[in-house]
Chains A and B, each alone.
Chain A
Amino acid sequence: MAEFVMPTLGADMTEGTLVQWKKQVGDRITKGEIIAEVDTEKAAIDVECHANGIIDQLLTKPGEKVPVGTVMAVIREEGPPATAPLQPQHVAPQPVLRQPIPTPAAKTVPLPPPSGRLRISPAARKLAAERGLDPTGLTGTGPEGAITLEDIARASTSPVDIATPAGTAERQARMRQTIAAAMARSKREIPHYYLSTTIDLSRALAWLTAENARRPVTERLLVSVLFIKAVALALKQVPELNALWKDGEAVRSERIHIGTAISLRQGGLVAPALHDADRAGLGDLMQHFQDLVKRARAGSLRSSELSDSTITVTSLGEQGVETVFGVIYPPQVALVGFGKVVERPWVATGLVIARPVVTASLSADHRVSDGHRGGLFLAELDRLLQEPQTL
């Protein structure tokens, strides 16, 4: 004796409707033959039998809807029919997600559509594909909970979906997913080139020590702020690096908003923008920077801070990293990395002396700029850091 049960014809299928039997009681059936046509929520499907034998009983009637796993037919081995007919057997159905009856004035709770198909607008689907973002798992804010252009834009520009407060674990997973999508897109679409240069920091650090001595303790500057300001000013010389890639071309940004990569304690990172970094004084920049770090870790960044950056600066010196080979954050077209400030033997005026140095690197989009321009940018960065008083 073998049983033919309502099969699972898709991960989200919980029940199916028998459209018709393709075999009758007494018919011989072999493994692989079609025994029934079953209607799922997606389509009517011909279902194969997985046993050899003779149809002994057909327990489900055409038109009946039964849960997955229900015995629908009994197939016996060759020989006379069984004596007692079996009763139709049902297994306990899986709880099925039903749309609640909306109460007036309450917003309809977005549910995954019953078909299992993602509810997403055509335009949003297209944008998600362009950005290499997997929209499954995003929360839609459009009509009937559909994922809209805005949802995709938000998910692909901000590592943390700050609009929907969520549990840490969920937020974590989503952040990882977003980083994955953005970085995969970056490596898939952006032809990166990398340049690096070692910069003598003796003047900059000496100036910083003197400057900090003058400042109250709470207003002291970090060398990373010097780096950010120098990057912002160097961009004025090589403005093509301060751009966003949009619809197949680079659109230069008038303003310079430096995304500063901040790693989060629980993992992942954000790169909120320091707006108009080229125009801000060092003291203000320092204050903004500290504020961003604090709020990034508290999860209270503003969406503009998450989406406005026109270039990213990442400093991994604290971790002892010497050189950064960064991955550009789309739609930006460049990323500047700083390693650890270390003392190195340095040859100046024919003498080998110890000097504090840092390796600055540029990852840039070759569709937008070339190595020559990238080199000029690093040279300008070096020049600016030799004149810290001008920053």
Chain B
Amino acid sequence: MTITYREAVRSGMREALQRDARVFLMGEDVGEYGGTYACSKGLLAEFGPERIRDTPLSESTFVGAGIGAALGGMRPIVEVMTVNFSLLALDQIMNNAATLRHMSGGQFSVPLVVRMATGAGRQVAAQHSHSLEGWYAHIPGITVLTPATITDARGMLLTALEQPDPVFIFEHAYLYPMEGPVEEGSMAVDISKAAVRRTGKDVSLLTFGGSVWKALVAAEQLAQEGIDAELVDLRVLRPLDRDTMLTSVRKTHRAIVIDEAWRTGSFAAEVSAVIMEQVFYDLDAPVARVCSEEVPIPYPKHLEEAALPSVGKIVQAVRRLLG
């Protein structure tokens, strides 16, 4: 069966709502409007206003309410429209959600799931286009997921709801209309491991989220030049699955990290550092990064494209790395 990424997210939420009476969804426009990205379309009619709740435009308030509900024994799914606006809730996330277990000596647990859109590529300008999931990956005490596939978009949510601690799911907004096959039956997806999306021997492309597909196209293009690239979808930014990526780099001896965030202080920088620390003597070339230009993501199409990682930039970086 073929569905879209957004239907996959919806199907995951529906399954969760059916399975567990403690699960409810809240966020801006998730009810009547069906979600800014239409992820919750139809859920209000199906589950009612008690469980599908529209909130005021106040990220700090409704994320805080979600934390409270989780502390009280519920299993809230909080939708924040995009990561750009999640900064308003950063205090709740950082100082409450991520720390309460620690501060209470393990007495309190915050089983909260927060979903939000991230990324650029749709000409919605700087305030709606940034990729800040790497910032969240900095915070101990939470899990950070970046589903890139239909299966992950649906299944990661279900596994996330089983966690005793906060889980943040970053859905790349560019992927919502993407169509793909979905497996019937078991839905839950492992959220402790990265996934090798393509095996190869010459270079490891390490990436996550929306960039996975650019890297895959780049890998196919490189294959025609006789360069056999391996593609690792990191997909769990925290706790990072080091084994899978390092195994790949040990094999190929070359690594390129692709991250739609800005290069400086990026998650790509963290991945590069881990590679240097742990497999330096296996490297046959310096670790390379393909990131966004250090500008607010521009509105005009050609400038936006120029600012973001692209298939061409990835291919170029690989060629440079191979000498």
Q: Which residues from chain A sit less than 8 Å from chain B, CB to CB? A: 121-126, 140-143, 145-146, 148-150
- B284 adjacent to A149 (CB under 8 Å): yes
- B282 adjacent to A122 (CB under 8 Å): yes
Judged by a CB distance under 8 angstroms, whether B299 is at the interface is no
- B323 adjacent to A123 (CB under 8 Å): no
A146 and B284 alpha carbons, distance in the complex (Å): 9
- A122 adjacent to B280 (CB under 8 Å): yes
- B281 adjacent to A142 (CB under 8 Å): no
Known: A143-B320, A143-B323, A146-B323. A124 touches B281 (CB 8 A): no
Query: A-facing mask of B1-44, CB < 8 A → 1, else 0?
Result: 00000000000000000000000000000000000000000000
Judged by a CB distance under 8 angstroms, whether B321 is at the interface is yes
A140 and B321 alpha carbons, distance in the complex (Å): 13
Least CB separation from B253: chain A residue: A123
Pick 28 A–B contacts, CB within 8 A, sort by A.
Answer: A121-B253, A121-B283, A121-B284, A121-B285, A122-B281, A122-B282, A122-B283, A122-B284, A123-B253, A123-B282, A123-B284, A125-B281, A126-B281, A140-B323, A141-B323, A142-B322, A143-B285, A143-B286, A143-B320, A143-B321, A143-B322, A143-B323, A148-B284, A148-B285, A148-B323, A149-B253, A149-B284, A150-B284
Q: Whole-angstrom distance from the CB of A154 to the nearest CB of chain B?
A: 13
Q: Which of A140, A141, A143: most chain B Cβ within 10 A? A: A143
CB-CB nearest 7 A-B residue pairs:
A142-B323, A121-B284, A123-B284, A149-B284, A122-B281, A143-B323, A148-B284
- A123 adjacent to B283 (CB under 8 Å): yes
Q: Whole-angstrom distance from the CB of A124 to the nearest CB of chain B?
A: 6
A339 and B282 alpha carbons, distance in the complex (Å): 44
Least CB separation from A141: chain B residue: B323
Known: A123-B253, A141-B323. A146 touches B281 (CB 8 A): no
Least CB separation from A124: chain B residue: B284
- A123 adjacent to B281 (CB under 8 Å): yes
Which B residues are CB-close (under 8 A) to A126?
281-282
Query: A-facing mask of B267-295, CB < 8 A → 1, else 0?
Result: 00000000000001111111000000000
Which B residues are CB-close (under 8 A) to A148?
284-285, 323
Which B residues are CB-close (under 8 A) to A123?
253, 281-284
Q: 6 extra interchain contacts, Cβ-Cβ under 8 A, other than A122-B282, A142-B285, A143-B322? A: A122-B284, A123-B253, A123-B284, A124-B284, A148-B323, A149-B284
Q: Whole-angstrom distance from the CB of B203 to the nearest CB of chain A?
A: 12
> Which residues 75-104 in B have Cβ within 8 Å of A in the complex?
none
Q: Which of B253, B283, B285, B286: most chain A Cβ within 10 A? A: B285
Least CB separation from A121: chain B residue: B284
Q: Whole-angstrom distance from the CB of B34 to the nearest CB of chain A?
A: 50
Which B residues are CB-close (under 8 A) to A150?
284
Q: Whole-angstrom distance from the CB of A117 to the nearest CB of chain B?
A: 15
Query: A-facing mask of B312-323, CB < 8 A → 1, else 0?
Result: 000000001111
A142 and B323 alpha carbons, distance in the complex (Å): 4
Q: Whole-angstrom distance from the CB of B234 to the nearest CB of chain A?
A: 22
Which B residues are CB-close (under 8 A) to A122?
280-284
Which B residues are CB-close (under 8 A) to A142?
284-285, 322-323
Q: Whole-angstrom distance from the CB of A242 to the nearest CB of chain B?
A: 26
Q: Whole-angstrom distance from the CB of B205 to the nearest CB of chain A?
A: 16
